[in-house]
Structure 1
Amino acid sequence: MSAGPLVLPCWEPDRPAEFFTAGGQRARLRDQLAQREAGQAMLWVLVETDGGRLVGAISLSRIPLGPLCSASVGYWGDGERAGRGIATAALEAACLAAREEFALHRVEAGTMVDNTASQRVLAKAEFEQYGFAPKYLHANGAWRDHLLFQRILHDEGPRGQGL
């Protein structure tokens, strides 16, 4: 007797069918590149040094000009590579870029309450939980509660950026 198909947890928001097409991905990449050109996002892909296999991605987004000096971070990693420190190292590098290249004061992240793997990554990268957001994101057919995390990068005042 078969146990049935393996169902893995999904931490991603619900997406329209078009998202999963080549055209949908081209549109998504064009939008991300436009945000990057406008200084509102920074995107990285994570590849293995041996063989060049794509193993994840990380992004800083919603980067405002002015006194807020904050960004949201999002990331995903290849489940086969879990537990090797790849996501933590990528998060550390993104925080360094946030401080050095964008002069940001803080970086924030949210995880679904039951996404303990991502919460471990955030803790290893010195993020602290600061809040709870009920019904924050629509995923897996329902609004999902999230835990909110942040990492303060420095206590200096804002530098330039349209103040």
Structure 2
Amino acid sequence: MSQVKIEVSATTAPVDLNELLEKTVESIADISEVKGDTHAILTSQQPSDTKALQVLKTAATEDVVRLEPVKISTFEGDYLKWVNVYEMFKTLVHKNKQLQDIQRMQYLVTSTNGEARRLIENLGVTGSNYQNAWKMLFERYNNKRTLPASHLQAFFSIPNVKSETA
């Protein structure tokens, strides 16, 4: 990885922040490599140009990688798929502090189908019903006896190999 170094000579002339910004932007190959340098510049200089300051602050704090939003799989009541759907929903929706319970309930309803949807469909899409709906699904599909039995059943229903393969 290459290091980007910005040298400012100690002269009596003031540092032109716009010129420094242009040189910095031209030489950046990867913003994550210069976050530390940019932070040092921000803390040691008092730029008069607020736009230049904002660009430097953004470069110092912005993550480089932009990922597509993760879609939650639709759960239809298959015990074999419960653990994956549960972990994904719990992480993206249930523990998301930016969401209100009514939003969580809407996500829960739209990410269920079949047997799982029938279990919660009589509950209205309200914030007060979210915790009950989540608990109903959790108690039904996180059953410590049914989950292993479903996996064993799936394992024993795999067809036998008839002949050897290379």
TM range (shorter): under 0.3
Which one has the bigger helix percentage? 2
Higher relative contact order (CA 8 A, sep 6+): 1
Say which one has the larger Rg.
2
Greater strand share, structure number: 1
Q: TM-score, normalised by structure 2?
A: 0.25
